[in-house]
Amino acid sequence: MTPIDAKRPLQLNEQGQLRHFLSLDGLPRELLTEILDTADSFLEVGARAVKKVPLLRGKTVCNVFFENSTRTRTTFELAAQRLSADVISLNVSTSSTSKGETLFDTLRNLEAMAADIFVVRHADSGAAHFIAEHVCPNLAIINGGDGRHAHPTQGMLDMLTIRRHKGSFENLSVAIVGDILHSRVARSNMLALKTLGCPDIRVIAPKTLLPIGLEQSYGVRVFSDANEGLKDVDVVIMLRLQRERMQGGLLPSEGEFYRLFGLTEQRLALAKPDALVMHPGPINRGVEIESAVADGPQSVILNQVTYGIAIRMAVLSMAMSGQNAQRQLNQESEESN
């Protein structure tokens, strides 16, 4: 499996600032750290009586979801509102594209609404990159998840969760467990962990749910035995079984998956006593994770949701700042000519 990001500089302006946020592949460690630090500064906004800062006042954020996701869409809406932006949310999967309109046609119609930021979620890998390549120059594109490819804000909210509970990444062992083959979250997490200096990234899954070449592409260790893979880890990230993306025959049954790979109290005991339990949601209880673990003292699943709002505030504000800086550079260049 080879990451598809052939045009990574598309995400950055000439000064190296964030302009679009499409994938974590190729982004420098300093920029990922800046996103985490900025999100940290936004966490206290959620504790205020008035949960607003004026950074995007007068700007319009358009959530364009070609694929449903209540959690991601809601947290992006809250993030934009807390930055004082105007917010429009469109479920395109039930409107124009179902009538035969192409992605390009939809894009042009959305541009006519004069939004400043598009948050795009799409079932096809590479859709966010396509849109970023074809929109007018002053629009920022944020990838809210595309196919099996990337979910960069989920990856970063997971990194913020780990950093706030564990400190630095340099001495951690992190296990990612479950449906790796279909998971854009797994890909974003592996890239982020590697970039931030995590020395031991473990991937645990049935062989039928593992992409080819993970070790070479992402520098991870692969385990098909959950008990062996979970031994002495600091963080366990469980993944949702994505039945809607699977072809027949990849799993004998959900019960068999739970027996061999589900995170039970007994299996969690193999990890370190203070190991974190994470899940991007929605949880399939009794399939990926035991309720006693999901609701237990080591679970930080609800914290992930809280940190997700702060991460999305950080990305929205940084992308808009990067677009404004690039616009200023372009104007200065035109004036000098």
Say whether 29 counts as a known binding-site residue. Answer: no
DSSP code of residue 285: B
Divide the 337 residues of the chain into consecutive groups of 10 and give the mean pLDDT of each group: 51 93 96 97 90 95 88 94 94 60 76 89 91 88 94 98 97 96 95 98 94 92 97 97 57 83 97 98 92 97 96 97 86 73
User: Residue 120 has which token pair?
Assistant: 């795009």
Say whether 99 counts as a known binding-site residue. Answer: yes
- Domain for residue 250, yes or no? yes
For residue 253, what pLDDT is reported?
A: 77
- Domain for residue 215, yes or no? yes
Q: Are 191 and 24 in contact, with CB atoms under 8 Å apart? A: yes
Q: Are residues 140 and 167 in the same domain?
A: no
- Domain for residue 181, yes or no? yes
Say whether 46 counts as a known binding-site residue. Answer: no
- β-strands 60-65, 173-177 pairing: unpaired
Find where tokens 């985490």 sit.
36
User: Measured between alpha carbons, how far is 268 from 188 in angstroms, rounded to an integer?
Assistant: 24
User: Measured between alpha carbons, how far is 72 from 155 in angstroms, rounded to an integer?
Assistant: 12
Say whether 245 counts as a known binding-site residue. Answer: no
Say whether 121 counts as a known binding-site residue. Answer: yes
- β-strands 200-204, 173-177 pairing: parallel
Find how far residue 284's CA is from the centre of its chain. 19
Say whether 71 counts as a known binding-site residue. Answer: yes
For residue 202, what pLDDT is reported?
A: 98
The pTM of this model reads: 0.91
Q: Are residues 95 and 21 in the same domain?
A: yes
User: Residue 188 has which token pair?
Assistant: 């974003």
Indicate the number of domains in the chain.
2
For residue 6, what pLDDT is reported?
A: 43
Q: Are residues 44 and 173 in the same domain?
A: no
User: Measured between alpha carbons, how far is 188 from 73 in angstroms, rounded to an integer?
Assistant: 18
User: Measured between alpha carbons, how far is 5 from 8 in angstroms, rounded to an integer?
Assistant: 6
Taking residue 166's Cβ as centre, other Cβ atoms within 10 Å add up to 16
- Domain for residue 1, yes or no? no
Note the residue count of the chain. Answer: 337
For residue 246, what pLDDT is reported?
A: 44
User: Measured between alpha carbons, how far is 196 from 192 in angstroms, rounded to an integer?
Assistant: 6
Say whether 163 counts as a known binding-site residue. Answer: no
What CATH number should be reported for the domain holding residue 278? 3.40.50.1370
For residue 252, what pLDDT is reported?
A: 62
User: Residue 165 has which token pair?
Assistant: 């509970």
For residue 36, what pLDDT is reported?
A: 98
Q: Are 321 and 17 in contact, with CB atoms under 8 Å apart? A: yes
Radius of gyration, alpha carbons of the chain: 20
Q: Domain range for residue 138?
A: 8-150+305-336
- Domain for residue 38, yes or no? yes
Taking residue 282's Cβ as centre, other Cβ atoms within 10 Å add up to 10
User: Measured between alpha carbons, how far is 209 from 233 in angstroms, rounded to an integer?
Assistant: 21
Say whether 151 counts as a known binding-site residue. Answer: yes
Measured CA to CA in angstroms, residue 186 lies from 29, 189, 272 at distances of 18, 5, 22
DSSP code of residue 93: G
Q: Are residues 105 and 194 in the same domain?
A: no
Say whether 184 counts as a known binding-site residue. Answer: yes
Helix spans in 20-69 (H): 29-43
Q: Are residues 206 and 293 in the same domain?
A: yes
First to last CA, the chain: 45
Say whether 208 counts as a known binding-site residue. Answer: no
